[in-house]
Chain A
Amino acid sequence: AQSVTQLGSHVSVSEGALVLLRCNYSSSVPPYLFWYVQYPNQGLQLLLKYTSAATLVKGINGFEAEFKKSETSFHLTKPSAHMSDAAEYFCAVGKAAGNKLTFGGGTRVLVKP
């Protein structure tokens, strides 16, 4: 069975500061890993995905994530937070294309001016 753990249900950062959201997964097979963002009253939007091509994955809006197999982690970072980054972020794991995704508990990001 797959599972995803996101450390910290809430993260508060100052505008311009580093954003770091932590995600650890467990999977019995090489995983497909994703980060999604959910803005208030909206659906989920894909930020980035890891599918075994490169361990450092760049996504939209300046976000990137690094896959570390030895640590079973896929942490999300952005060097400089913007007010528009305030949202909820979900890490998700899948086993294969066409398969369901299992989501972490989510991390709500607050950006302070």
Chain B
Amino acid sequence: GAVVSQHPSRVICKSGTSVKIECRSLDFQATTMFWYRQFPKQSLMLMATSNEGSKATYEQGVEKDKFLINHASLTLSTLTVTSAHPEDSSFYICSGQRGDNEQFFGPGTRLTVL
């Protein structure tokens, strides 16, 4: 199978702090990783596409200075939520792309900003 891990699974932080979420493909190389945000009872909202060794491509309306994405290797991408505010509280999910179109998702990270 194709396994993607995320860390941490849950994080609670104070308003104004930064939070880093890691996404790792454990048994395959992912040249492309995707970051999603999901609100309760809603579908996945694509935030950005991350390619190894290059700058991420952000979807319209997503602030690239607030959501910093780094894809340092073929198995690791990180999302840093900078100066987090309560409205950033959400469920963040990453996926790794195997080949040119297969997506495998991580278990998600629940972010709560107080």
- To the question of whether A and B form a pair in one complex, the answer is no
